[in-house]
Structures are given as C-alpha cells and as structure tokens.
Structure 1
Amino acid sequence: MNNAQLNELKQRYVASGAASPATQFADRAENAEIWDADGNRFIDFAGGIGVLNIGHRHPKVVEAVKAQLDKVMHTCQTVMPYEGYVKVAEKLSQVTPVRGHAKVMLANSGAEALENAVKVARAATGKNNVICFDGGYHGRTFMTMAMNGKVAPYQTDFGSMPGNVFRAPYPVPYHGVSEDEALRGLKMALKTDANPRDTAAVVIEPVLGEGGFYAASSSFLKAIRDICDEHGMLMIVDEVQSGFGRTGKLFAIEYSGVEPDIMTMAKSMADGMPISAVVGTDKHMDASGGNSLGGTYTGSPVSCAATLAVLDVFEEENILEKSQALGDKLSKRFAQWQQHFECVDNPRNMGAMAAFELVSSKADHTPDAELAGALCKKAREKGLILLSCGMYGNTIRFLMPVTIQDDVLEEGLGIIEDALTELVGKKTTATA
C-alpha cells in the first residue's frame, strides 16, 4: 500500500490521540535511513525518539532476534522462566552504577519501569510521596503522567491525576533557574508539601529528555543524593532517554559519580524491541512480596535476546567512543550555527545527546516555538526527520543513531542549514 492509502486507513481506524501527524509511512530502514511506502528516502535524526542508538536493524540484533524466534517466543517468565531474562539481569546488574549489589526486574516500556520503580520505593521505605522535577518526562500511564513536569499534551484531557506526587524546580540557568534556586525549591517542597517522613523517593532525569536536553550538574546530583540520605528517601534516576550510550557513557549519571538507589532504562537497550528495566540495590528490589512485580510480557525472550546483542555491540564496536565523537562533531557545527544564525542559541551536548534553542532574541533568551515547528516541517519536506522538544517547545534535539555514516550525517546537517536559511536568512551576529 502507498502513503495515500495508508493515510486513509489511519484516519478511519486509528484513534486521533494515537495517530501520527506524519503522512509518510515507514516501509524499510537501515542504520540512519528510512524509506517510506512511496519509496522516498529520509535521513533519521530522531532514532525512534532515542531508541536506535546503534541504528535501524543492526545486523547482530537482527540475527539474535531471528535465532530466538526459532526457540521460544513467549512463556511468561513468572510461569516458566528462561535464560535470556536472567542473563539480561546479570549483565545490567554488572554495568548499572547503583549502590551495592544490584537486582533487576524487566518490563516493557519506560513508563512501566517508572511505575515499578515507585512501587519498589514505596515497598522499601513504607512511604508514599514522590518528588519529581519541572520539565521531567516519565511516561503516559496515570502515575507517570502525574510525575511529568509538563501538562500538555500528556495530562490535558484525562481528568484528575494520582496524588502524593510533588514538584521541584530543575536547574536550567539559561531560562532563569539556577542550581541554588532549584535546591531551595526542593528543600521548600520538603517543608511545605512533601514531609520527608512520608516521602519515598526523589525521581530525576540526569539529562532532561522531553524537557529540553538540559543536563543537571554533578554538584546538583550530589546534593540530591545527600538530601535523600539525610531524610531516608531513595534516589531514583530515570535514564530512559539518556541511557545506553546516548551521552558517551552507558548512563549519564556516570559523569557525576553519584550512585542512585534505583535506575530505570528502556529505549535503546534493545535497538527497537520493547523492553525496559528497573535496576536497584538488592534490599530495595527485594522489599515487596513474591509475584508483586512483573507482567505477562515483561522481559520477553525475543527482547532479551536483542538486549544481550546490543550489549555485545557496545563492546565490539566502541559505541561509547563513537557517541563522544558524534557529540564533538555536532558541537562544532552548532557553534558555527550560533554565529551565523540570529535564531540559534544555547548549543549544548553531553556526548551525542545534543540540542540547541531557537529564539527570537538572544539577549532575552526568548523561545521561538513557532520557528522550531517550521524547521521540523521544512526538514521533513527535504527528507530529514527532526524533532523539537522542551518546556517552551523551541529546542531542536538530535537523536540520530550513533552509528550514522559520516556522509549521511553531513547531508542531514546540510538540510538543516538550508532550511534555516530559507526560513530566517543567514546573518553573522555576535552571540549574547
């Protein structure tokens, strides 16, 4: 079927809240390129929203999935377990920097991982409250919607959110929130809303994902660790988008040296197969009763096979080094754009987790969400899949596969330059 036929079916049968606004339908993909149902080629700077750090259909992952399909597709690991689940748990326990000996539960999605992390924290502490941060994104289930630090579009139409979720500022100096102010906000929340005696955990992304690719400083993360220790709360680090090599380390929290009590991960851990994980200190992970964690499809044999293959690829192909190198290339190009385009400002990256702001005024840091939308639209018209994000909708984020070929990367960056030039013109200006 072609794009037009598929769009007709989409409009007729797919719920509008779940339907993509895109009119092209993926037909096949390879590394950083996608071809649609009409045969048009696209360069992929979105990576399935950070799911494809080692590219579409990595050969080793495809091989592992095919081999698993010839053995076992499903038994439900709580009914009859299988090797893949325990091998993934072993590997994640070894590489995840939580305190002490780590234990693991597997789930299907990032939201499911966060839900279970909260369950574990409540069971381990006997407390109910959870503190999250402005701009944070944790999922689309009811608990994680309440945890999100942004209302639209995640909460708007769905009524009351679950209680016992409180908010603190996330440090984004560019938009007027200093680290000191963010810490004061967290401490004030503990005084005015979330009594530490009733607070199970503080949940934070070390680099905001949907919130705009802002990284928390090492000092801020260490301060949260100290506050959690002082009050007997658990520190939960959400690495669903920043994990599995996006930042040049397996997990972004490694840059700070902080050891959380619990970490969540998903997205790129299986190169497109649905899986997520909660990894935490053994005494916390073992706090709830038998059969209290899990689900029918959690840690499926096929997804576990893909995860093990991904971890092998990271070692064999130096993916972390490639992520750092890609981040360096993006940083240099962003700096050029900041000089040449009046609308480009605040370029930033941690490894290949890279972004910049589109603004109408560099002096005032005035967000320009309309331009961000126009850039993504024009890029798509020119054959590049590009995403915006952020509290103000003006951040352009880069989530192309770390394995992207140099010529494809340059072609995609050239499309952005051409699109910006068409939209705003090119002028040399001093950065504010």
Structure 2
Amino acid sequence: MSFVDENLRFVCREVLRRIPFTTSVILHGSRATGKVKGEDNRDYDVFVVLKTPLFLFYVKRMKGIEAEARKRGFKLDISVLPTFRLKYGRGDLSAYFIKATGVTVWGRNCLRNCDLGHIWETIDRSWIQYCVYVMRRLMWGYDPSTGRFNVDGILKALIVCCRLIVLFFTGEYVIKPEDMLRIIKPYRVSNRLVFGGEALDLLEETIDGRSWNESLFFFSVRDIAINTYASLISVLFGIQDEDLKALTSKYLRATRRRAFIENLIYASSLFMIRREFIPRFNPFGPSVFDKFNMATAWLLMSLREDGSIDSESINETYKLLSDCVNLPLSKDKVKFWLTLRDAIRRYYHYARTGFQFSHCIYTAFSSIIGSSSRKRRKPKTVKHYHLQSGIFPYEKDDQEWRMPRLKLPTAK
C-alpha cells in the first residue's frame, strides 16, 4: 500500500483486518478517474473482491467499516464483488462501470483480463437500474416533514441523469457537466435525441448561472427523472402508456421471465443477513427488483408542489412494497412517506443483488450450454455485423424515428 490518500489506506487496512478471502480492493467512480481533487467531499465508492461463495456473511462487517468511515469524517460506499460476477457479469452496466472507471488500490488486478463486454451489449434492465439510481438520489433532495430542499443533492441528481443520457446515446462515461454538454452537442444540434433534451437544457441553464427557486428546481428535476425512466421503458421494452399505473402493470409483466431466481436470492439474503422473514412474500410473483424500481417512481410522484402528498400515489407505492418488506401502516401521510423512503433505502440493495447475481447465473449457464453446443457442431462461416457509433445508428437521411412525448400524470 503505497498510495497517499489516508482514507483509502484506512479502508484497505480495515478490509484486510475484518474480511477474509479478500482478493482485491477496487476504487471506482469519479474519484478513480483522477478528475476529483483529494479534498472533494464526494463518496469513496469501493468494491471488495471476494473469492468465496459465502460473501453474504460479510456484508455486515462492511457496513461496520462504513460506520467507522463516517466517524472519521468521510463518506464510504463499500460493496462486495464476488469473482464470479467479474467472470459472468457481461452485459451488466454496473459491472461494466467497475471495469471502465475502476482502479485496483490493493491486491490482484482482477479488472485487466475480465471480459464484461461493450456498452452496446448492456442489457435493458441495467439501464433501468441506472435511472432508478438517479431517482433514489433525488428522494433525499426534499424532506416533506420540514419542507426543506437540498439544492446540492438535487443538482447532483440532475448531473447523474444527464450522465446517463450522454452514456446512452454516445457510449461515453463523462464526469464533468461541461464535457457532457460538449460531447452531446452534435446529437442535440442534429435533433437525434429520442429523450433527455429537457434535462440537458436545464443543466446548461444551471451551469450558465441561472438562479432557481428551490421548489421549482426540485420538481423540474423530478419530472425529468420520471420522464427519463418512462422513456427508457418505452425505448427498451416497447411499452408506451401515458398512464403510470398501466405502465407499471405492463412493465412488471414484461420483466417477469427471470423473476423467480431473483426473488429467491432476495428472500434468502434478507434471512441470512437481517434474519427477516416476509410472510406475504411470493417468489413466483413479479420481480422484487422491478417492484422496487416502480415504487421509487411512484414515491417521487406522490410529492406535490404545495407540500402535500398525493394519496393515490403513496398507496401505489405501498402496494408494490407490501409483500417485499414488513411495513408499518400510518395515517400520517408525511410519516408514511418517510417510512417508505427509508424502506427503499434499506432493502433496495438486496433486490438489486438478486437481479445482478441472477444475471450472472443465466450468463454462466448460457456459456456452458453454448460451449457444449459448439463442441457438437461443425464450425461454419458466420457473418458479423458491427454497430456504428451510438446506441441508435441513424442513417444520414433518416431522422424520422421519434418517440412521442410522454405525458405522465401529475399528482392531483
């Protein structure tokens, strides 16, 4: 350990002391790119690579390291990364990010030889996960119990949303907002953006120094995040509906195919780590991961500009989560909203883990089946087609494919 950063030195020392079977410690995100100064208050995003199938038993120890980091005055987000996820995580956007922006600060460089594919091969639900990450950040930009806004948090959510849009259309992961606007400019000028124009316009106005009313800024970013979410569902799954309730139902049906394994991993993780059992949980139902995603959207939609909370939207949030977590009911809407937000914060990690690990299981199984199939077949000539630059390779004279503007319902 020859690096200068004392916080990273502390993290590595504690990981090696508390967590056995550690192969590597990886720093990723904006700090790993070298574009953030050491005194910046951004989180330290760290992955611990473990060579053991018993990784779930060490999650609590990692949370203990996070608590120690808070006492030392810096923010740490530490996650477990089993070696099989690096081996079979192809197509998972979060795994791709680890390789694209990750730096090994201790141990063996596992990122050098792992094949996680290209950004164009990313599976559809990984993009949904990234968008939900934006909405989860935004949930903490406003506290309905006090009426206070966290403008810095709202701005960071907007920047992450624009980063998602730039990545989706250009394939480039960009840190600085100014660079995002520069790279996406040809797409905006040529009118090639299927969605995201409003988010980029708002970011540009903010960078240019426009002052915003806190409430107006929050709800503008909220509407942008929800529309980006619905737009991704439309583009990736072909589901278009102006009614959020109908969109929820159609999306949960469309993503149900792999739900069983995801749900089993979610339930077993809760039991092993938190010793929690959900009596109403149905492993044969829709994906818990996608129910959390939709619940996050509904919870944000429940906030009204006058400071009140929409009953229908918060009830939809509760319906989605009621058989996934043990939730206490409350007649106080504000208290209930905060309870639901806290439930998403505490349990979303387990749902996301179910999605990511089930993807690895399917990838590994497909790899084994494909390998066996190739051994039985005689080799034949295969014609390869190469993607042009951009997610949507437009022809020069073809600019007609547009997605109709979604009119999502506002809280009444």
- Common topology (TM > 0.5): no
Decide which structure has greater strand share. 1
Structure of greater relative contact order (alpha carbons < 8 Å, 6+ residues apart) = 1
TM-score normalised by L of structure 2: 0.26
TM-score normalised by L of structure 1: 0.25
